[in-house]
Amino acid sequence: MKFQALVLVSLMLLAGGSLFAADTGFFSGYLADQACGVAGKSPMDGSDMVNAPWDHTKGCAVACATVTGEKGLGLMVPNGATFKFVPFDAAGNKIAAKALAASKKKAGLTFVVEGTLKGDTIVVSSVKETNL
Protein backbone atom coordinates (compact mmCIF):
# COMPACT_ATOMS: atom_id res chain seq x y z
CA MET A 1 0.00 0.00 0.00
CA LYS A 2 2.86 2.38 0.72
CA PHE A 3 4.10 1.79 -2.82
CA GLN A 4 0.66 2.79 -4.12
CA ALA A 5 0.80 6.01 -2.14
CA LEU A 6 4.26 6.75 -3.53
CA VAL A 7 3.01 6.14 -7.06
CA LEU A 8 -0.02 8.37 -6.41
CA VAL A 9 2.13 11.23 -5.11
CA SER A 10 4.62 10.77 -7.97
CA LEU A 11 1.85 10.94 -10.56
CA MET A 12 0.50 14.11 -8.97
CA LEU A 13 3.94 15.74 -9.05
CA LEU A 14 4.43 14.76 -12.70
CA ALA A 15 1.03 16.21 -13.50
CA GLY A 16 2.09 19.65 -12.38
CA GLY A 17 2.86 19.46 -8.70
CA SER A 18 -0.62 20.26 -7.48
CA LEU A 19 -3.87 18.37 -7.32
CA PHE A 20 -5.73 21.58 -7.94
CA ALA A 21 -3.80 22.93 -10.92
CA ALA A 22 -7.11 23.13 -12.79
CA ASP A 23 -10.61 23.63 -11.41
CA THR A 24 -12.11 20.90 -13.62
CA GLY A 25 -10.55 17.53 -14.20
CA PHE A 26 -9.62 14.27 -12.54
CA PHE A 27 -8.74 13.98 -8.86
CA SER A 28 -7.02 10.88 -7.46
CA GLY A 29 -6.85 9.76 -3.87
CA TYR A 30 -8.21 7.52 -1.15
CA LEU A 31 -11.98 7.52 -0.66
CA ALA A 32 -12.87 8.31 2.95
CA ASP A 33 -15.79 9.38 5.09
CA GLN A 34 -15.74 12.98 6.23
CA ALA A 35 -15.79 12.12 9.95
CA CYS A 36 -12.46 10.27 9.72
CA GLY A 37 -10.97 12.47 7.01
CA VAL A 38 -11.49 15.72 8.87
CA ALA A 39 -10.46 14.26 12.24
CA GLY A 40 -7.29 12.84 10.69
CA LYS A 41 -7.73 9.56 12.56
CA SER A 42 -10.32 6.84 12.36
CA PRO A 43 -11.93 6.00 15.71
CA MET A 44 -13.19 2.71 14.27
CA ASP A 45 -10.12 1.15 12.63
CA GLY A 46 -7.42 3.40 14.11
CA SER A 47 -5.97 4.39 10.75
CA ASP A 48 -3.90 7.57 10.46
CA MET A 49 -5.71 9.44 7.69
CA VAL A 50 -3.05 12.14 7.35
CA ASN A 51 -0.04 9.85 6.96
CA ALA A 52 -1.44 6.45 5.91
CA PRO A 53 -4.94 6.74 4.40
CA TRP A 54 -4.38 3.41 2.59
CA ASP A 55 -4.98 1.69 5.96
CA HIS A 56 -8.53 3.08 6.26
CA THR A 57 -11.02 0.25 5.84
CA LYS A 58 -14.11 0.03 3.69
CA GLY A 59 -16.08 -1.05 6.76
CA CYS A 60 -15.17 2.13 8.58
CA ALA A 61 -15.90 4.37 5.58
CA VAL A 62 -19.32 2.76 5.05
CA ALA A 63 -20.24 2.80 8.74
CA CYS A 64 -19.13 6.37 9.37
CA ALA A 65 -20.67 7.73 6.16
CA THR A 66 -23.95 6.01 7.06
CA VAL A 67 -23.99 7.22 10.66
CA THR A 68 -22.93 10.74 9.70
CA GLY A 69 -24.70 10.74 6.33
CA GLU A 70 -25.03 14.49 6.22
CA LYS A 71 -21.24 14.75 6.29
CA GLY A 72 -20.69 12.31 3.44
CA LEU A 73 -17.57 11.24 1.61
CA GLY A 74 -14.52 12.75 -0.03
CA LEU A 75 -10.93 12.06 -1.04
CA MET A 76 -7.73 12.01 0.97
CA VAL A 77 -5.41 13.71 -1.53
CA PRO A 78 -1.65 14.32 -1.50
CA ASN A 79 -0.68 17.49 0.34
CA GLY A 80 3.10 17.59 0.33
CA ALA A 81 4.35 14.61 2.34
CA THR A 82 0.93 14.02 3.93
CA PHE A 83 -2.71 13.84 2.84
CA LYS A 84 -5.70 16.13 3.35
CA PHE A 85 -9.44 15.58 3.07
CA VAL A 86 -11.45 17.21 0.26
CA PRO A 87 -15.23 16.66 0.55
CA PHE A 88 -17.72 15.92 -2.23
CA ASP A 89 -20.90 17.84 -2.98
CA ALA A 90 -24.26 16.26 -1.97
CA ALA A 91 -24.88 14.64 -5.37
CA GLY A 92 -21.26 13.43 -5.43
CA ASN A 93 -21.77 11.73 -2.07
CA LYS A 94 -24.48 9.55 -3.63
CA ILE A 95 -22.28 8.68 -6.62
CA ALA A 96 -19.33 7.89 -4.34
CA ALA A 97 -21.47 5.82 -1.96
CA LYS A 98 -22.49 3.57 -4.87
CA ALA A 99 -18.88 3.20 -6.00
CA LEU A 100 -17.79 2.42 -2.44
CA ALA A 101 -20.51 -0.20 -2.01
CA ALA A 102 -19.43 -1.90 -5.25
CA SER A 103 -15.75 -2.02 -4.23
CA LYS A 104 -14.32 -5.43 -3.37
CA LYS A 105 -11.35 -3.86 -1.54
CA LYS A 106 -11.18 -4.06 2.25
CA ALA A 107 -8.73 -1.11 2.52
CA GLY A 108 -6.60 1.04 0.22
CA LEU A 109 -9.68 2.55 -1.39
CA THR A 110 -8.07 4.29 -4.37
CA PHE A 111 -10.46 6.16 -6.63
CA VAL A 112 -10.38 8.66 -9.48
CA VAL A 113 -13.04 11.35 -9.38
CA GLU A 114 -14.04 13.48 -12.33
CA GLY A 115 -15.43 16.84 -11.32
CA THR A 116 -14.95 20.51 -10.62
CA LEU A 117 -13.31 22.01 -7.56
CA LYS A 118 -15.52 24.78 -6.15
CA GLY A 119 -13.99 26.29 -3.06
CA ASP A 120 -12.88 23.34 -0.94
CA THR A 121 -15.46 20.91 -2.38
CA ILE A 122 -15.35 18.65 -5.43
CA VAL A 123 -18.56 18.81 -7.47
CA VAL A 124 -18.54 15.23 -8.71
CA SER A 125 -19.40 14.00 -12.22
CA SER A 126 -18.13 10.42 -11.84
CA VAL A 127 -16.26 8.16 -9.39
CA LYS A 128 -14.24 5.15 -10.52
CA GLU A 129 -12.19 2.72 -8.50
CA THR A 130 -8.59 2.35 -9.59
CA ASN A 131 -5.58 0.23 -8.78
CA LEU A 132 -2.32 2.13 -8.66
List, for residues 30-62, the tens digit of each pLDDT value. Answer: 999 998 999 999 888 889 999 999 999 999 998
pTM attached to this predicted model: 0.80
Contact 72, 88 (CB under 8 A): yes
The one-letter amino acid code at 63 reads A
Q: Using pLDDT thresholds of 50, 70 and 90, give the confidence band for residue 7.
A: very low
Please determine, for residue 123, whether its predicted confidence score (pLDDT) is greater than 90. yes
Helix/strand/coil (H/E/C) assignment for every residue in the chain: CHHHHHHHHHHHHHCCCCCCCCCEEEEEEEEEEHHHHHHCECCCCCCECCCCHHHCEHHHHHHHHHHCCCCCEEEEEEECCEEEEEEECHHHHHHHHHHHHHCCCCECCEEEEEEEEECCEEEEEEEEECCC
